[in-house]
Amino acid sequence: MTDQRTAGRFKQVRRSRALLLAAFRAHPGPIAWGLVGSLLYGTSLVAWSVALGVLCNDVVIPRFDDGHVATGTVLAVLVAVAAVGVVQGSAGLIRRWTLVVTRARFDATLRDAVVRRYHQLPMTYHQAHSTGQKLAHVTTDAEAAAELPARLPDVLGMLVLFVVTVGWVVVVDPVLALVGGMMIPALLLVNSVYQKQVEVPAEAVQERLGRVTEVAHESFDGAALVKTLGRDRVERDRFAAEAAGLRDAKIRLAVREWMLDSLVESIPTVTSLVIVIVGAFRVNSGAITVGALVSFVNVFAMLVVPVRTIGNVLGDVPRMLAGYTRVQAVLDEPLPPATADPQPLPDGPLDVRVQDLSFAYPGGAAALSGVSFHVPAGATVAITGGTGSGKSTLLLALTGLVPPAGGTVLLNGADLSRISPADRVAAVAAAFQEPFLFAGSLAGNVLLDFDASVSASASDSAAADPRLDEALRLARATALVDGQPNGADTPVGERGVTLSGGERQRIALARALAHRPRLLLLDEATSAVDATTRQEIMSGLATGLTSTTTIVVTTSAATLALADAVVYLQQGRVAGIGSHADLLRIDGYDRLIRAYERERVQA
């Protein structure tokens, strides 16, 4: 048990060191300035006590004893006191300013690093982690982690103040130093209790903060569903329960911190009292002057500041480390292996050969097994099958975004997993059933260039970009865009809320087409578009994109009939390959397509 605790402490020290090193490497300037400010502040606190002693010895006592004091002495002491005050004020400003700057900058650094990592991580990571969880890492966790380096200079400065004060007292009066020194073990003891008592509630607060973000995000994201199913109340209650949990955890932590704070603060106060009593005897016996005693009492009372600072930071370390650990976990997520010995993608229309492809989701059963088929360059192949048969998984594997468990995909003979990501992205484009639109303009969404404004000027890149018109025409979205109040410059709202499902799908399809891909992958990308328009789009693609190889997941009989060949999947395996007409002879296929068509008529 003790060994476990010691190991835990070592782990904390190691993690703190890693965090501080990372922060210092990223922002040495503000941290170094913070240290200067804090040291100056600490020194000025001691100087203030010394000045008070001098004031007492050279001004106040002579005034009482002799009835007069030299004006020069008064002036000199007053100037010294004022100077100390100015230094203290300026140092205090530097301390606070650098704390704010370090915190804000390191928070931003961590946030950027996490977001960059999110972009590099494979699809499987994003499928396994909720958006709310990921949001919490870039908000509350990064903020908590940035606190430690921001407050470090203060802790170091105050530690120096502590040592200097104790040293000074030892030199002037070892007896009083001994009395004052008794507070050190008391402080160590209370701080160690503090750490232990606060650790668990602090981690609980950090974890609950993450959960509240997660639940809030989930319920806002599913707002329409929540409303239509009349689950508002349930969702409200679910959020209220999480929020109440967070509130209680915060109160528990605050009460514990406050009780321990009072205990920590009382130690220097009690010590000052003891020093007054013992010091009175020392003054009486002539061992020290009254001024020295005044300085000591003042300096010990002032030790409340460093003691509280150090205690507060130590008490908060578990929460800050909890945030850092969660951030670090994202940064430590393994990246997909870099493409070893990347192969160039041969030019020209792409011939796609899928050989014995298999795929399984983490912890799940096989979603694809032994899938093989061939799509000649420029041809259109449709993939169909019942729900859960592996159609979307197959398309995802063809994007190269998820590594297959076995088998290969060859593009013009080159292994997809060995093609450089840049070449792959340039050649392959996909559009899915659930289109994602950014909150920018229609043109911005198609060209993925949100600075573009079509109407701003004729020389503008978007206005001059022929890809936009061509892509909109092929996606049968020209009239839809022209009908918008500001044409292609019309903003579409968050996730494209101002458009219908079919309209969103056509804009997402136009985006994939604007890419001028050599391999176009469509996963039920026109499922929400009416049958006539869908037919126009599919035949338009067949005649207009002769050099593009197209693989389309569909259950529409008309689209299947247009395809050069159909791959029929059943439970992740190929159950038939051929023309739609040929496959209709397979009983299962015929029934499936008929059932889908009936469904569409009823809808």
Which parts of this chain interact with ligand ATP (CB under 6 A)? 127, 361, 364, 367, 385, 387-393
How many residues make up the chain in this entry?
Answer: 603
Q: What is the smallest separation between the CB atom of 367 and ligand ATP, expressed in angstroms?
A: 4
* Total site size for Mg ion, rule CB under 5 A: 1
By a kind-dependent CB cut-off of 5 to 8 A, residue 174 interacts, out of ligand ATP, Mg ion, none, with none
Q: Please give the distance of CA 97 from its chain centroid, rounded to a whole number.
A: 25
Radius of gyration of the chain (CA): 35
Q: What is the smallest separation between the CB atom of 534 and ligand ATP, expressed in angstroms?
A: 17
Among the listed residues 145, 136, 144, the one whose alpha carbon sits nearest the alpha carbon of residue 118? 136
For residue 210, what is the DSSP state? H
Q: Which is nearer to Mg ion, 16 or 392 (CB)?
A: 392
By a kind-dependent CB cut-off of 5 to 8 A, residue 127 interacts, out of ligand ATP, Mg ion, none, with ligand ATP
CB atoms within 10 A of CB 584: 17
Stretch touching Mg ion by CB under 5 A, among 99-107, 236-244, 276-284, 392-400: 392-400
By a kind-dependent CB cut-off of 5 to 8 A, residue 358 interacts, out of ligand ATP, Mg ion, none, with none
Among the listed residues 14, 320, 334, the one whose alpha carbon sits nearest the alpha carbon of residue 142? 320
By a kind-dependent CB cut-off of 5 to 8 A, residue 105 interacts, out of ligand ATP, Mg ion, none, with none
Q: Which is nearer to ligand ATP, 177 or 552 (CB)?
A: 552
Q: Which is nearer to ligand ATP, 387 or 602 (CB)?
A: 387
Q: Which is nearer to Mg ion, 320 or 553 (CB)?
A: 553
Give the Cα separation of 536 and 201 in Å (integer). 62
Q: Which is nearer to ligand ATP, 103 or 580 (CB)?
A: 580
Q: Please give the distance of CA 12 from its chain centroid, rounded to a whole number.
A: 22
Angle of CA points 535, 540, 542, to nearest 5°: 100
Among the listed residues 554, 561, 564, 559, the one whose alpha carbon sits nearest the alpha carbon of residue 584? 561
Residue 339 lies near Mg ion (rule: CB under 5 A): no
Give the Cα separation of 455 and 68 in Å (integer). 86
Q: What is the smallest separation between the CB atom of 368 and ligand ATP, expressed in angstroms?
A: 8
Cβ atoms of residues 95 and 41 within 8 Å: yes
Q: Which is nearer to ligand ATP, 168 or 361 (CB)?
A: 361
Residue 392 lies near Mg ion (rule: CB under 5 A): yes
By a kind-dependent CB cut-off of 5 to 8 A, residue 457 interacts, out of Mg ion, ligand ATP, none, with none
Q: Which two tokens stand for residue 432?
A: 């899915």
Q: Which is nearer to Mg ion, 309 or 555 (CB)?
A: 555
Among the listed residues 161, 180, 162, the one whose alpha carbon sits nearest the alpha carbon of residue 279? 180
Q: What is the smallest separation between the CB atom of 388 and ligand ATP, expressed in angstroms?
A: 4
Cβ atoms of residues 123 and 401 within 8 Å: yes
By a kind-dependent CB cut-off of 5 to 8 A, residue 385 interacts, out of Mg ion, ligand ATP, none, with ligand ATP
By a kind-dependent CB cut-off of 5 to 8 A, residue 424 interacts, out of ligand ATP, Mg ion, none, with none
Q: What is the smallest separation between the CB atom of 401 and ligand ATP, expressed in angstroms?
A: 12
Give the Cα separation of 479 and 476 in Å (integer). 7
Residues in Cβ contact with 292 at an 8 Å cutoff, skipping those fewer than 6 apart: 53, 57, 172, 173
Q: What is the smallest separation between the CB atom of 387 and ligand ATP, expressed in angstroms?
A: 4
Site string for Mg ion, 109-148 (x = CB under 5 A): ----------------------------------------
- Helices marked H in 377-441: 391-399, 421-427
- Helices marked H in 173-231: 174-181, 183-221, 223-228
Q: Which is nearer to ligand ATP, 519 or 553 (CB)?
A: 553
The DSSP-derived string for 248-282 is HHHHHHHHHHHHHHHHHHHHHHHHHHHHHHHHHHH
By a kind-dependent CB cut-off of 5 to 8 A, residue 262 interacts, out of ligand ATP, Mg ion, none, with none
Q: Which is nearer to ligand ATP, 380 or 389 (CB)?
A: 389
By a kind-dependent CB cut-off of 5 to 8 A, residue 239 interacts, out of Mg ion, ligand ATP, none, with none
Among the listed residues 45, 19, 25, 268, the one whose alpha carbon sits nearest the alpha carbon of residue 157? 45
Give the Cα separation of 350 and 428 in Å (integer). 10
Per the listing, tokens 């009292």 go with 273
Q: Which is nearer to ligand ATP, 33 or 596 (CB)?
A: 596
Give the Cα separation of 206 and 136 in Å (integer). 10
Per the listing, tokens 């983490």 go with 362
By a kind-dependent CB cut-off of 5 to 8 A, residue 364 interacts, out of Mg ion, ligand ATP, none, with ligand ATP
Residue 571 lies near Mg ion (rule: CB under 5 A): no
By a kind-dependent CB cut-off of 5 to 8 A, residue 387 interacts, out of Mg ion, ligand ATP, none, with ligand ATP
Q: What is the smallest separation between the CB atom of 24 and Mg ion, expressed in angstroms?
A: 49
3-state helix, strand, coil in the chain (%, to 5): 70, 10, 20
Distance from the first to the final alpha carbon of the chain: 64
Give the Cα separation of 211 and 213 in Å (integer). 5
Per the listing, tokens 């915190």 go with 103
Stretch touching Mg ion by CB under 5 A, among 9-17, 70-78, 336-344, 391-399: 391-399
Q: Which is nearer to Mg ion, 180 or 386 (CB)?
A: 386
Q: Which is nearer to ligand ATP, 360 or 425 (CB)?
A: 360
By a kind-dependent CB cut-off of 5 to 8 A, residue 367 interacts, out of ligand ATP, Mg ion, none, with ligand ATP
**Partners of 430 in the beta sheet?**
521
3 state DSSP class of 234: helix
Site string for Mg ion, 493-512 (x = CB under 5 A): --------------------
Q: Which is nearer to ligand ATP, 147 or 524 (CB)?
A: 524
By a kind-dependent CB cut-off of 5 to 8 A, residue 167 interacts, out of Mg ion, ligand ATP, none, with none
Backbone angles phi, psi at 86, to 5 degrees: -65, -45
Q: What is the smallest separation between the CB atom of 159 and ligand ATP, expressed in angstroms?
A: 51
Per the listing, tokens 């303009």 go with 441
3 state DSSP class of 566: strand
Q: What is the smallest separation between the CB atom of 392 and ligand ATP, expressed in angstroms?
A: 3
Q: What is the smallest separation between the CB atom of 521 and ligand ATP, expressed in angstroms?
A: 13
Q: Tell me which residues touch Mg ion (CB under 5 A).
A: 392
